[in-house]
Amino acid sequence: MRVNIPDLDDLYLLVTIARTGSIGQASAELRVAQPSASRRIAALERTLKVGLLHRGARGSTLTPAGRVVVDWSITLLRAAEDFRHSVDALSRQRNSSLRAAASMTIAEHYASNWLAMLRHESPNNAVSLSVGNSLEVMELVESGKVEVGLIETPNVHTNLRHRQIGTDRLAIAVAPDHPWAEQLVITTADLSATPLLVREPGSGTRDTLDRAMSEAGHEIKVSLELASNTALKSAAIAGMGPVVLAAIALADDFASGTLVQVAVSDLALSRPLTIVWTDNTSLSQEAVGLFLGAIRNDRRKGRPA
């Protein structure tokens, strides 16, 4: 329902007249022409349908109704000032920091470019980035501790809004002296029969591997389970067994020859990269928009995602 509220500047003028004792002094203080001030008070009286001032040679005095209106005006003006301060604080918060969280592979190989693009396009928005596995990132979003999450698991919680922002894939890698390094191609059965170096449950990498193997009718055997891509690669290089990680995390090792990539002939190991958020705050919507814009512009520059 629309309420016909007088102009706040006119109410402030009335309060100033009440304090100074005349339209002339109020006009001088507020730096408005006295005839204009008089017209505004007359218009205010017509709007409110009450007389506000007794005008005389020695100044202006409030009518009984005018005194009541001044009291109400002071309350309204203070509320308006509180509203303005609150909006300013909200704006400062919005323009100062957006909280995001990213899963390990995204944080290590994609997020730095996205954050640089976001900073270039929106320099007033500083972004704090937390890092965890995909499950931990989703829990941070659900708890409201971050506005937006970037994950690599296909298992997105049903209570989260989400949108795919790219595609990634897993790769199997072995040390050069491993028997698979000569085969270069294995089957899902071979993978299932061999103890593997893998990420922990809850990570996007592990979720993708478990889901793909389950759909193929197999399960994995775990030799070593760690929450660190770097530690798992080091274990594979040391000859502890095959490792399954994001292909982008293994690219440098493949290029240098410290690890050898092995294909699986009958297993699809691609996975979505996904942005997740809730509708709990308008700041989440803004964060999603900023990240999507940065990701699109980064992709136009030829970055894979």
The CATH number assigned to the domain holding 298 equals: 3.40.190.290
Residues 153 and 275 in one domain: yes
Q: Kindly state whether residue 2 falls inside one of the protein's structural domains.
A: no
Question: Three-class SS of residue 57?
Answer: coil
**What is the span of the domain harbouring residue 263?**
96-305
CB atoms within 10 A of CB 303: 14
Q: Kindly state whether residue 243 falls inside one of the protein's structural domains.
A: yes
Residues 124 and 67 in one domain: no
Residue 65 is predicted with a pLDDT of 87
Taking a C-beta distance cutoff of 8 angstroms, is the pair 141, 244 a contact? no
Residue 89: band (very low, low, confident or very high) from pLDDT cuts 50, 70, 90:
low
Residues 87 and 109 in one domain: no
Q: Kindly state whether residue 3 falls inside one of the protein's structural domains.
A: no
Question: Three-class SS of residue 224?
Answer: strand
Residues 152 and 299 in one domain: yes
Q: Which of 60, 94, 128 is the last residue of a domain?
A: 94
- What's the token pair of residue 239? 């000859």
Q: CA of 13: how far to CAs of 23, 44, 54, 124, 268, in Å? A: 9, 10, 15, 36, 73
pLDDT in tens, 200-245: 999 999 999 999 999 999 999 999 999 989 999 999 999 999 999 9
Q: What is the dihedral of CA 197, 203, 209, 214, to 10 degrees?
A: 120
Q: Residue 71 maps to which CATH number? A: 1.10.10.10
Amino acid identity of residue 12, one-letter, is Y
Number of domains in the chain: 2
Residues near 281 by Cβ (< 8 Å), separated by ≥ 6? 144, 147
Question: Three-class SS of residue 246?
Answer: strand
Residues 77 and 100 in one domain: no
Q: Kindly state whether residue 50 falls inside one of the protein's structural domains.
A: yes
Q: Kindly state whether residue 1 falls inside one of the protein's structural domains.
A: no
Residue 2 is predicted with a pLDDT of 52
Q: Kindly state whether residue 264 falls inside one of the protein's structural domains.
A: yes
pLDDT in tens, 115-141: 888 877 777 777 888 999 999 999 999
Residues 51 and 176 in one domain: no
Q: What is the mean pLDDT of residues 148-154?
A: 93
Residues 253 and 271 in one domain: yes
Residues 76 and 145 in one domain: no
Residues 162 and 230 in one domain: yes
Q: What is the mean pLDDT of residues 4-31?
A: 87
Amino acid identity of residue 293, one-letter, is G
Residues 55 and 164 in one domain: no
Alpha helices in 122-258 (DSSP H): 134-143, 180-183, 188-193, 204-215, 229-237, 247-256
Q: Kindly state whether residue 78 falls inside one of the protein's structural domains.
A: yes
pLDDT in tens, 249-296: 999 999 999 999 999 999 999 999 999 999 876 667 778 888 888 888
Residue 61: band (very low, low, confident or very high) from pLDDT cuts 50, 70, 90:
confident
Q: Is the pLDDT of residue 1 over 50?
A: no
